[in-house]
Structure 1
């Protein structure tokens, strides 16, 4: 749909072309009907050049040879055709046909007096009037298409980056919730176990037992509140099902963003966990086997979390049961195992210790991200076992790569990942994720690959065309001047020739034959004598009337000069 400004501009341009064509028809001594028809036809072709670019180009290419008023429209029609004809093959075919038709019509029209300068002009004129504007229009169209593509690509990249950043923030919040559950929950369980043990101590007085009960209730309430907070954080950032089951780019980024304080709690801190559990009266054994090997920070921290979660679950669900913690160093991985027997006593009097319900799920995800695995389940004697296998080396330096087809972010090229877009940046909520203005960088990269070839090709075509035009003008001007001089004689030569002289004698003094410069001189000339063959030449002297051209005509018959005339024709 055209805008009002486009309608006004096209209307004015059509009127201008129509008036120009009508004016040229009037200068050609055309009648009123011919002038009006020429103006209306050219205006209509100007309006149709956008709707029917190929047809208008072919019509104007042929018509411009027959009527010079169409010559200005050929340039604009070629520009429009270059911009609007779809497909390279169709565009090349249309312009080649227009060139051949224009050249063919020019040659056919000039056949009676065809010469080398006229042929050169006929070859170069459609090249300048049709091919060069078409190439320029084609380049302009491709430039606009490339610019629009760049804008669409940048908008898509911004959407994808925002989506990936949202996933990274969601994973970070989920990680924080998991750490709250693992760390704070473990401490609250220990408080609850301590309080429960004191509450049943017979040596306490009633007031002391009441105070311990208040402490016990406070720890249980804190566990309730912690569970609600963790659940809210997880629910508000819940990823799609595929993202929960398969680690994507954002999940790997979030796991890799563990803070240094958390990572310091690794295998070396397991003895502290065991000691804390023993201090509340739990029977905990710690076993080591194999040659210790260094672990990646994420695997080291995962080992600490597995032991912490196993001890927490044993204190909550099997109070009084013996607990065994084992660290077994295998050739390629560390096996961490926490096993407890069946519960031997109850400390909560039926009130139950609150469970967040997220610990085992978080451990499974944590170990999966570092290339390991976790397992939890009951044992044959009624106890419970939690184990994890942690490799000594994580894939790609601790950041697992998502499997092809499992990446949950759509429309992201595998080579254009979140890590490459923001190298070295932290993935917490305060870190910048997206570049502020990627359109400039994208435009540079795309223009180097896609735009440079177009620009170089069009530039070379324009340069070659200009060189050809300059050469044609030089050669054509040289031949034109020579032909013009050959077709001129001085008035004294005309005066020395007498009627009745032999034709052969006179022709030795005059140019040998008619030139294209003298074409059209017979239009306003006096009638030619019957049976005579005439030679018309121009004068070296100018007429007093600038619109007229002096002409000398010599007519021969039967080998003699039968008539010579001097007259003027319209210049």
Structure 2
């Protein structure tokens, strides 16, 4: 049973992040399965890995039916390839078609698969996008093909080809873009270089996207908890400040009773708290004061939760001329 989201129902952005996580995990599992097959010793393990992708012809046909001008040409004698090589060739075409549809809508895409004596060369070239691109929202090469964000998907694809012992180059060409991969017929895995040799700092696209999605989700959860905590701390500080203000403006009843009109302000000040009470209710502010006097207000006790009576001391010049008790 799914646990409810903390702080309310999931938002559309939360659902999008979860979808990204699921797609990234699925792609990472597929990439890990291929990598294990490549690095496994002996040819028996490689032959037991069955390719689970459709033929390139079906991929191209479905893409063409969606409105994309794509042409496929095969060269050389057809022969069976190791499943890892066949799968990688499919992924090169799939990723290239995805990028062409996204970045050059309306362009013409040409796919060439040439079988040489000991290798397979896959070349996908798209022309420049026309001035008024023909939009085709349904042009999706294959399920999951749109997971890669732009050409960043080529990073993981280059790593996949490198693990097989092949190469992949991607660069602009004649206003468009070209992806060219060379895949060996016999898999020769590229093991990690020794610590003394430079290593190419690449990572599978699925791993990169999984990391980004995790960070985004982590930030959202942190924000969900940090906001209430921040509000709570601010409230606590405000309450502490208000309590300090209210408890330092209390004139004790015994001291209030000791005050007499006619006393000098300096003599009265010895019995007064360190500050006056300045948060007067509107009803108190509306009360008239004796003409020609200025008045100071104090709380009668330090109770913070109840309304308390207020003491008013009014001065004329340097002398106390009146004192009053105002109901709280």
After TM superposition, the score normalised by the length of structure 2 is: 0.43
Output the TM-score relative to the length of structure 1.
0.26
Larger radius of gyration: 1
| Greater RCO, 1 or 2 (C-alpha within 8 Å, sep 6+) | 2
Q: Higher strand share goes to which structure?
A: 2
Per residue, is there more helix in 1 or in 2?
A: 1
